[in-house]
Amino acid sequence: MIPLPLSSVAAIVGGTLHGDDVTVSAPAYVDSRAPLAGGLFVAVVGERVDGHDYADGAHAVLGSRPTTAPTVVVTDPVAALGRLARHVLDRLDTTVLAMTGSQGKTGTKDYLAAVLRALAGEGAVVATAANNNNELGVPLTVLRADAGTRFLVVEMGARGVGHISYLCDIAPPSIAAVLNVGTAHVGEFGGREQIARAKGELIEALPAEGTAVLNADDGLVAAMAPRTRARVVTFGEAGDLRWRDVRLDALGRPALLLEHSRPAADRQQHPVQLRQAGPHQIHNAVAAAAMATAAGFPLADVARALSGAESASRWRMEIGERADGLVVVNDAYNANPDSMRAALEALVAIGRGDPSRPRRTIAVLGEMRELGDEHTAAHHAVGQAAAELGVDVVVVVADAARGIAEGAAHGTGEVIVTAGREEAAAWVRQNAGAEDVVLVKASRGVALEVVAEAILTSSVTSSTEETTA
């Protein structure tokens, strides 16, 4: 963040300064457990916690009432944070690249940030941390930028119509991608058409000299092209930027040839070997490539950078291997019907990746939340997908996800319903071994990462003894 006296912060956001006029020289933050020296603590009143109660020791505070630290008092700290972020961004020579979609936002963001850092330099890029993509997360991301930031990579989420438009007022994009329109949060939106309406707000915010990157394989996304005055570039199997000759290695990591479809007379193919598992990573990586080329980087350089890109976010197709060889795919950060199917496809790909050593596939699946009236049908469909894909064992975590078991029951695999995380972890520890691969996935609130960790840290000896007992 560019240094600002707290009195200047007050003037920018229309607030009143209480206490000393200290200089804010570090980014804003909301977690008092991880304070930033010289930073601005944003005190938010939540349903269970009041941030003002944790302001002791803060360098400076943005809140709705005075605290023990120097404080800018405003009516709405979240709205004020957005105004501050826009003010700072307007003073920087920075290109904003933003993406939205029902799934794949964080994966695409991580690929794009890795490519830009490889090609422009580590210090030239600031990107959304984890999935901080809402009215708090976006301004917090912007305020991490400074005079050396050439590229600001911003993930944008929405819970309804108008949300992305608001985020674009804080961080106006020059390059923007809509990845897909799925069923994530369909209960909040009221249908896929409403989701499409909300996601399309991103490209509506582009200037005429900007670039809209659209998924040519998603009809609702492709139909957004008339909603922008910017240049349109598409990606996908039917897109301007596409892929050929996909191969998966033994851990389900795709290799492919990346090419522009135009001009046909000078079409070049560039090899890419991704380091993350699952066929769905292809769409994420190619979307990132389309955005990077829109920023002016040659496709050949982008392809090389993609091949070196490591995963930057925890619990997203994170592959771990126990000492005995058991493979665990921890994709527990979040889940929706589309990402569930993608993860199951990745699980099966890993299970069949080495013909000389096929692995038994075990899917530990928990509830998908925020689906509204689609909750029962969506869980049933995930179970059906597991059966159709040939997953050997489906372990369902808790009664809220029982629909998965009902959908999977018509397949040939084994279906286990457990009471909760501990029972699910115990079943896997007692029944899975070196020749198996285990997927763990559910919505964030289910916290299945503890199951993945319990499986990976269980001793091989005890696992073997339990299996034979």
pLDDT at 466 over 60: no
Domain co-membership, 100 together with 237: yes
pLDDT at 460 over 60: no
The whole-number average pLDDT for the span 325-340 is 94
**Within a domain: 376:** yes
Q: How confident is the model at residue 185 (pLDDT cuts 50, 70, 90)?
A: low
Average pLDDT, the chain: 93
**Within a domain: 86:** no
Supply the pLDDT for residue 263: 64
Q: In this structure, are residues 394 and 415 in contact, taking their beta carbons and an 8 Å threshold?
A: yes
**Within a domain: 417:** yes
Supply the pLDDT for residue 54: 96
Q: How confident is the model at residue 34 (pLDDT cuts 50, 70, 90)?
A: very high
pLDDT at 379 over 60: yes
Global confidence as pTM: 0.87
Of 307, 330, 345, the position where a domain reaches its end is: 307
Q: In this structure, are residues 67 and 61 in contact, taking their beta carbons and an 8 Å threshold?
A: yes
**Within a domain: 293:** yes
**Within a domain: 82:** no
Domain co-membership, 245 together with 377: no
Domain co-membership, 340 together with 389: yes
* Domain count for the chain: 3
Q: Residue 459: how many CA atoms within 13 Å on its side-chain side? A: 4
Side chain identity at residue 271, one-letter code: P
How far is the first Cα of the chain from the last one, in angstroms, to the nearest whole number? 59
Q: How far is CA 51 from the centre of its chain?
A: 26
pLDDT at 309 over 50: yes
Q: How far is CA 373 from the centre of its chain?
A: 24
Angle at 153 between CA 302 and CA 336, to 5 degrees: 95
Supply the pLDDT for residue 324: 94
Domain co-membership, 302 together with 409: no
CATH number for the domain harbouring residue 198: 3.40.1190.10
- pLDDT tens, position by position, 272-293: 999 999 999 999 999 999 999 9
Of 255, 283, 307, the position where a domain reaches its end is: 307
The whole-number average pLDDT for the span 325-344 is 94
Q: At what angle do helices 163-170 and 77-90 cross, to 10 degrees?
A: 50
Q: How confident is the model at residue 353 (pLDDT cuts 50, 70, 90)?
A: confident
The whole-number average pLDDT for the span 349-372 is 93
Region of poorest pLDDT, from 48-52, 67-71, 308-312: 308-312
Q: Which residues contact 47 (CB under 8 A, 6 or more apart)?
A: none
Supply the pLDDT for residue 427: 97
**Within a domain: 137:** yes
46 exposure class (CB count in 10 Å sphere: 0-12, 13-18, 19+): exposed
Supply the pLDDT for residue 267: 73
The more confidently predicted of residues 241 and 268 is: 241
Domain co-membership, 64 together with 97: no
Residue with tokens 């005055």: 229
Q: How many CB atoms lie within 10 A of CB 402?
A: 16
Supply the pLDDT for residue 462: 43
- What percent of the chain shows pLDDT beyond 90? 85
**Within a domain: 61:** yes
Domain co-membership, 96 together with 69: no
pLDDT at 461 over 70: no
Domain co-membership, 102 together with 223: yes
Supply the pLDDT for residue 468: 37
The more confidently predicted of residues 322 and 262 is: 322
pLDDT at 265 over 60: no
d(CA 364, CA 20): 54
Structural domain span for residue 409: 318-468
CATH number for the domain harbouring residue 53: 3.40.1390.10
Nearest to 38 by CA among 29, 54, 26: 26
Region of poorest pLDDT, from 147-156, 230-239, 388-397, 452-461: 452-461
Q: In this structure, are residues 390 and 414 in contact, taking their beta carbons and an 8 Å threshold?
A: no
The whole-number average pLDDT for the span 257-271 is 80
Domain co-membership, 254 together with 215: yes
**Integer angstrom CA distances of residue 76 from 15, 52, 70, 134:** 10, 13, 17, 16
Domain co-membership, 326 together with 456: yes
CATH number for the domain harbouring residue 356: 3.90.190.20
Nearest to 241 by CA among 328, 306, 197: 306
Supply the pLDDT for residue 82: 98
Of 41, 75, 109, the position where a domain reaches its end is: 75
Residue 16's SS3 state is strand
Q: How far is CA 405 from the centre of its chain?
A: 27
